[in-house]
Amino acid sequence: MNISVREWFKTGSPWVWMNAGAVAICIIMVIGLLGLIAVRGLSHFWPADVIQGTYTQNGETRSIAGEVVETSEVLTKQLVEAGINISEDKEFSTRHLLKIGNRDVYGSDFTWILEDFFSNQSQPEMLFTAERREWGNLYGYLRTIKESGTEIARHDGNDKSAEYLSLWDNLESRIQRALDIREDILQIEKHEIGSINYELERLRLKERSLQLKNVTEAAPFAEIEQRRKELDDEYEGLQQRLLDLYTEINRDSITAEVANGKVVEIQIAKIVRAFRPNDMSVAQKSLHYIAKIWEFVSDDPREANTEGGIFPAIFGTVMMVMLMSLLVTPFGVVAAVYLREYAKQGFVTRVIRIAVNNLAGVPSIVYGVFGLGFFVYFLGGNIDDLFFPEAKPAPTFGTPGLMWASLTLALLTVPVVIVATEEGLSRIPRAVREGSLALGATKFETLMKVVLPMASPAMMTGVILAIARAAGEVAPLMLVGVVKLAPSLPLDGNYPFIHLDQKFMHLGFHIFDVGFQSPNVEAARPLVYATALLLVAVIALLNMSAIAIRNHLREKYKALEM
């Protein structure tokens, strides 16, 4: 028996099964982790039912309403030691984390409650949720609608009557009206006025440049002044339109009664959407769920990044990775081609390869410090001195921005591209090169028309690995360009259209900011999971695009390998 086991081990079969088991365990763990992130993150957007009841603890009674966010068990003994008067008949007590909203009323929009003290629970159909632009959600009953301070509709009951439904339809139409006006306001503020301010700044810099060059002719200055006057007149007209729109959007308001009986008044312009979750069917909740997910991926953040969307972070991440790929690919390929095809293979070449391999293990924060010192302060400062003296002392490129972040990550990932490209070049048979040279091609022609096309799948493998590493990096970006909130995208309709000097948002940094720097931890926690899932999806999409290109190149140049 021992001999047969020994012989079985000599065949190598146990190691095959061990490797297969290890791979299977890793796949299960990855799928489980992604599943956990998806459940925790995507469930946040589902319109949960709102419960209302009476909470009595230590002789104090209050009415509360909200969504159950989390349920856990706690030792009853610990509650007694904390001074809570509770029966010790059972070892564990159930407690719920309740999102009660109304932060402007209660001071906090989350609270823990014990199941034993929560009575008279119900799910009233007319209890509504209002997502607001500030102060979080509002949970309450709609009472009145006001127009220019005058009450135009009212309902004091909590029943699902025709009068209440008419009041609700009126509210929904006015919310939609406010949203349409807000779109017009954003169009004017972010695009039209933004373009005017951008052109005014360019005129100021042009005028300053003329002054630095000691230009004495009056014509250029007169032309600048004439254009500035035209822009000022256009700006005044837009400002008047904005005043009119703000007057219109602030016309309507509502009053609502919250769980503790207090009546609050809210401007409809501050409401994003209002809905009655307890009165919604599964189909209606599904439509609401899709709308919330679309808002998450397409809208700008609000409420210190704990509400709204993360589109600027998605855009910044993708744009930075694309720029990094365009920068790292030629540098990595040229370095690999030189080391493999032109450099004399000796001690110096071996030292260079060792250095390249060691660079792959340098901590990313070191690259961030180097990027800040060399790219931003040294290179960017000299660029400002040479090409943008009129903007000083305000820096143009002498400050962290998109270009320096892309260059820093390109430097971080260039060893990966070099190693992958060298491996691809080494696999090309020597006979292919000699055959090309024998047919009269020069070494350069052989390299460009035969060797590099055959090695292009390996180059794409290096790019894929570079994308996978760079897209998730955060530490160096904190020093060379990423910010908590970018007011505008680095790509817009203003010349030169791509603003490489601008700071940008990034999904990885957004996760760090929301998870560890948020003033409202409980509200931000689900968004950490949702953003992490989206970051994984973005990296997977970028990698799959690169893999598709690699497979296309592999099929295209397969004939050359035969």
CB 467 within 8 Å of CB 539: yes
Contact assessment for residue 264 and residue 255, using Cβ atoms and an 8 Å cutoff: yes
pTM for the structure as a whole:
0.87
Peptide bond into 393 cis (omega under 30): yes
Grouping H, G, I as helix, E, B as strand and the rest as coil, residue 480 is helix
Return the exposure string of 325-356: e unless at least 16 CB atoms fall within 10 Å of the residue's CB, then b. Answer: bebbbeebbebbbebbbeeeeeeeeeeebeeb
Residue ranges per structural domain of the chain: 2-44, 51-123, 138-278, 315-484+493-500
- Residue 423 vs residues 333, 339, 360: alpha-carbon distances, Å: 11, 11, 16
Helix axes 402-426, 347-359, angle to 10 degrees: 130
Q: Which helix (H) or strand (E) holds 234?
A: helix 218-249
The Cα–Cα gap between 190 and 136 comes to: 25
Instruction: Check residue 261 and report its DSSP letter.
Output: S
Quickly count: other Cβ atoms within 10 Å of residue 239's Cβ: 12
315-484+493-500 belongs to which homologous superfamily?
Answer: MetI-like (1.10.3720.10)
What residue has token string 């998730």? 472
Question: How far is residue 505's CA from residue 225's CA, in Å, rounded to a whole number?
Answer: 36
Residue 265 bridge partners (DSSP)? 255
Local mean pLDDT, 10-residue blocks, the chain (562 residues): 66 82 93 90 90 86 89 83 75 87 86 87 90 89 91 84 88 93 92 90 90 85 92 92 93 91 91 92 93 91 83 91 91 89 84 86 90 93 89 88 93 90 86 86 87 86 86 89 86 83 90 84 86 89 84 72 53
Contact 514, 524 (CB under 8 A): yes
In angstroms, what CA-CA distances link 502 with 95, 264, 492? Answer: 47, 42, 12
Burial of 4 (0-12, 13-18, 19+ CB in 10 A): exposed
H or E stretch covering 118? strand 118-122
Task: Specify the 3-state DSSP secondary structure of 95.
Answer: strand
92 phi, psi to nearest 5 deg: -115, 150
Nearest Cα to Cα of residue 381 among 389, 437, 436, 43: 389
What does the alpha-carbon distance between residue 42 and residue 536 come to, in Å, rounded to a whole number?
Answer: 14
pLDDT of residue 558: 67
Q: How far apart (Å, rounded) are the C-alpha atoms in residues 534 and 523?
A: 18
